[in-house]
Structure formats: C-alpha cells, structure tokens
Amino acid sequence: LMRVSQAVRLLNQYAVALLLVGGVLGTMITLPQGYFSYKGNIFNVYFVKVGWFWTTFVYLARLALPTRSKSMALSHQVIRYFVCTALWVTLTNSFNMFRVYSGTCSVSEFGTPGECISAGYLWDGHDISGHTFLLVLSTLLLKAVSEERMPKDDMSLPFAILEWFILFIRVLWICMFFFTYVYFHTFTDKLVGCIFGVLSYFIASWCAIKG
C-alpha cells in the first residue's frame, strides 16, 4: 500500500491542477441531476457547510503531527491561519451583504433573498459563490502547510489514521469544488469566488512572511 507520506506528496503536486481541471470540466459539461446536485447531501451538510471548522482541524493537526521537515516558522504559519480566518469571515459576510443590496425579488413585497426564495420567487442579486471561495482558499492553505511540514515515512497507527483523514478532507474539497461548478451558481459568481480565494491566500502568506 502507498505510504501516507507518498500520498501527501502526490496530492501536493497535483492539487492546484486538479482544481483547475475541475473548474474547466464543471463549466464545460452537463451532468444529470443527482445526489451531488442536492444541497442536503451528506458531504455538503457535514463537511462543506462547516468547511472552515474542518480546515482549522486539518491545519492544526498538520502543525501538531510529527514531521520530517519544517520549512516555515511555526509563528508564521499561525499568522497565516489567522489572517485567512479573518478574510474568510469578512468576505463571506460581505458576499451575503452584496447579494442583498445588488438584487431585488421578482415580487416587490419581499426585501431579502431568504424571504423571497422561501416564498417561491426569484431573487436576481449576484450570489458570489462562498463555496468556491472557501474550497479554493482552504485547498491552497492546506497544500502549503503540508509542503512545509511533510509527514514522516514511518509513524504510529493513530498518526497514520489522522494523516489519511487529512488527505480525505483535502481530496473531498477538490471533488466538491467540481460539483459546485457543475450544479450551482453562475459562472461569473463562481469565478469571482475563486479569485477572492486565491487573493486571500496570497495576502495571508504575505502577512505571514512580513510577520
């Protein structure tokens, strides 16, 4: 069986390429409605909807687990995480506000997206994809910390299980990014979410280096 350290290196090498391929394929192809087009699917409800919790768990676990190499100071990695968290909170709330103020309901008696959609009407505001923003930011952040703190080749079973779970979360983010592109939001709203995710990561990394 492939060692977890080999799997980590493999995913680090192709993570960004897989995101790009997922976005392109998700834009070009049309899939029939299925389990992943249902917002109540288990991966969306228990993972993506609380995605920053899992990102935090994986990031802190990566810092705590035994490593064979450390290419960035721990203090810088902590700064990067907190800047990413601040940007995620701020921008996610900003996206929601932008959706409210940029649109109107097809029936004038409803003034918010929630009221309008719950009543069965259409809200025409720009709904910047918080999912693509989160998944891009998280994927880049977890890729970076995994490259900076590579796992040891030999480790105890509990550590190995945790490492495989970390890999599961990272692969799941890439898969859910693809399904978001296939089933949800307009192309523009998804692209803007991706751009904010990339910019947020690089801003946080700059702050970490300066810190």
Catalytic residues: 131, 185
Q: Single out the residue of 152, 171, 204, 157 nearest to residue 58, CA to CA.
A: 171
Which tokens hold the place of 120?
């069965």
Lookup: tokens for 156: 């105890």
**Within the chain, how many helices (H) and strands (E) appear?**
8, 0
Whole-angstrom Cα distance, residue 83 to residue 119?
38
**Coil, strand or helix at 179:** helix
- 3-state class (DSSP) for residue 103: coil
Is residue 120 within 8 A of residue 110, CB to CB? The reply is: no
